[in-house]
Structure 1
Amino acid sequence: MSHNLLEGKRGIIFGALNDMSIAWKVAEKAVEEGATITLSNTPVAVRMGDTAKLGEKLNAEILPADATNVEDLEMVFTKSMEILGGKIDFVLHSIGMSPNVRKKRTYDDLNYDMLSKTLDISSVSFHKMLQVAKKMDAIEQGGSILALTYIASQRVFYGYNDMADAKALLESITRSFGYIYGREKGVRVNTISQSPTMTTAGSGVKGMEDLMDFSERMAPLGNANANDCADYCIVMFSDLTRKVTMQNLFNDGGFSSMGMSLQAMKQYSNGLDEFKDPSL
């Protein structure tokens, strides 16, 4: 059901690869809510993924670009304003990748060149995006810019590796740039900390299925899926949240506030029973 929350608004969605992508769901929901958008992803992702199908479905032009390259980002904002007919009202940064995770390098055996790539792709690209947009004055007054993060930025989760460092930096950039952008241009900058979600990128994290099961048992409302995240993004893009900025907003069914749930406690106790010596 559409509520026309984004009627007349213009947006750019970075990172829609296939229908497993959160960015894909956000793009669909944004258009459903009345927005017109452009889509951007790396040239390789556009060739190898299904972005073209999404563009055709949503009547959205695709702008292949490397989000770590300032000139590419300048092109995306320039062409998006030309295509959409004005300044941009909302942007989604749904970009993240760790070569160390892909190569199964553990956190105590990182390749530092790969770490630099992780940080550049997953977080510094957000700073570049914000800086380019601000210098170009490409975002409408009161506009909303979002990036997707995960609670591993604040707590240790086995297997999340150097992506945890990237997400911590991403959230810091949100606060630091959010202050400047809000003060000078009235633009909102926030992150949404999503439940573990089985996207193409998420599937590369070691133990992802077990992590999803654990958080499902811990969270009183269960895991938030990609559609839930899309709904939250739409609200954050809308005028309903025009005074919300510099925040890390949890969309995780309550997981982030939990210590131990009853269901998880029972599972833990059952597991202990298997190892108890009946002779004791």
Structure 2
Amino acid sequence: MSQTPEQKTAIVTGAARGIGLATTKQFLAEGRRVAMIDRDAEALMAEAGALENVLPVVCDVSQPEQVDAMIAEVAGAFGRIDALVNNAGVADFGPIEETSFERWRTVMATNLDGVFLCSQAAIPELRKTSGAIVNIASISGLRASTLRVAYGTSKAGVIQLTQQQAAELGEYGIRANCVAPGPVRTKLAMAVHSQEIIDAYHDAIPLNRYGSEDEIASVIVFLCSDKASYVTGQTIASDGGFQSTGVGLPALRT
């Protein structure tokens, strides 16, 4: 892996697919080195093998020991950490009365605990570089919807955690911001969304379409850049205007 001492770096969790992979590629295009983090070793190594200037690290972000080891490995390999993108997440949709505590904790462990653990472990390195944290929440953390009691609550927690980070870490020059994607045309979404849901989103979103992974990644990369040097504590809904148009989709109701 080629590098120069001043070459900026980024850590991206959940980097083996989707928004995380798109973000990785955009960071590489602007000249950064990227630590690609994922717990799916097979998918991670397959994607990382096709890229240059990346360091793949298999890590479950819900496990404190694994997170500490991951940050140490990245710092040792890169010599610096300039940005942390907390993108790793899991989704579990279902009615409140059918959401067991085990399912609730599984979602919280990755979506909220993982953001806390990775950020906390990276702070000493981010202080050295006056680095940036970008946490990936969801439009579901800004507006309630059916079937998202665990997922939506975890993402609302991420938004509040981002504000806490901004308030406490600003004195070190560390910026913390949040991106809340709306409906995104991922392979998973297209596999599970019925035509009725797709049509309903078209009608409910002012831009009349799903977003792309690259469109979300562009916002993330901007927030990590010097162009956003006076932006901290903010949540940007990259959602085609969905947040502005009201609540709930009938097609998503049980």
- What residue in structure 2 maps to residue 13 of structure 1? 12
3-state DSSP of counterpart to 2:34: strand
Matched, 1:36 2:29: no
Q: Contact between 1:81 and 1:138, CA under 8 Å: does it hold in 2?
A: no
User: Separation in 1 of the partners of 2:188 and 2:164?
Assistant: 27
Q: Contact between 1:11 and 1:91, CA under 8 Å: does it hold in 2?
A: yes
Q: What is the identity, as a one-letter code, of the residue corresponding to 2:41?
A: V
- What residue in structure 2 maps to residue 256 of structure 1? 243
Return 5+ residue gaps in structure 1 as ranges.
1-6, 269-280
3-state DSSP of counterpart to 1:63: strand
- What residue in structure 1 maps to residue 203 of structure 2? 217
Q: What is the identity, as a one-letter code, of the residue corresponding to 2:82?
A: D
User: Separation in 2 of the partners of 1:81 and 1:146?
Assistant: 18
Q: What is the identity, as a one-letter code, of the residue corresponding to 2:71?
A: F
Alignment of 1:164-203 (within 5 A): 164-183=152-171, 185-199=172-186, 202=189
3-state DSSP of counterpart to 1:193: strand
Q: Contact between 1:25 and 1:226, CA under 8 Å: does it hold in 2?
A: yes
- What residue in structure 2 maps to residue 273 of structure 1? none
- What residue in structure 1 maps to residue 88 of structure 2? 95
Give the Å deviation of 1:212: 4.5
3-state DSSP of counterpart to 1:95: coil
Give the Å deviation of 1:117: 1.8
Give the Å deviation of 1:229: 0.7
1:159 to 147, 150, 155: 147
Return 5+ residue gaps in structure 2 as ranges.
1-5
Change (3 A) 1:174 1:259: same
Q: Contact between 2:12 and 2:84, CA under 8 Å: does it hold in 1?
A: yes
Offset from partner CA, 1:92-112 (integer Å, 9 cap, x none): 1111114x53xxx42222211
Q: If the length of structure 1 is used for normalisation, what is the TM-score?
A: 0.78
1:67 to 61, 68, 84: 61
Change (3 A) 1:231 1:118: same
Q: If the length of structure 2 is used for normalisation, what is the TM-score?
A: 0.85
Size of the aligned set, in residue pairs, is 242
3-state DSSP of counterpart to 2:130: strand
Give the Å deviation of 1:32: 0.6
Task: Give aligned-pair identity as a percent.
Answer: 19
Give the Å deviation of 1:207: 4.7
- What residue in structure 1 maps to residue 135 of structure 2? 147
- What residue in structure 2 maps to residue 24 of structure 1? 21
